[in-house]
Amino acid sequence: MSNEHIAQENLRALASNPYPGRGFVLGLSEDGESFFQVYWIMGRSESSRNRVFECGMEQPLSFSGPRVSTRAADPSKVQEKDRHLIIYDAMLEAPGLFVVSNGAQTNAVRDAMKDGAFLMDSLKDWQYEPDAPNHTPRITGVIDLRPGGEAEIAVLLKTPDGDGCVRMRYPLGLQPGFGYCVTTYETDGNPLPSFRKPPYIMPIRGLVHDILDTYWSALDKVNRVAIVVKQIWREPKSSTIAIENKHRLPG
Give yes or no for residue 13 having a pLDDT over 70.
yes
pTM: 0.95
Per-residue pLDDT, 226: 98
Per-residue pLDDT, 50: 92
Please write the tens of the pLDDT for every residue from 239-248: 999 999 999 8
Nearest to 216 by CA among 208, 207, 206, 226: 226
CA gap 16, 30 in Å, rounded: 26
CA gap 93, 104 in Å, rounded: 14
Please write the tens of the pLDDT for every residue from 68-119: 999 999 888 877 666 777 899 999 999 999 999 999 999 999 999 999 999 9
Per-residue pLDDT, 60: 52
Amino acid symbol at 117: A
Question: For the chain, percent helix, then strand, then coil, each to nearest 5?
Answer: 20, 35, 45
Average model confidence (pLDDT) for the chain? 93
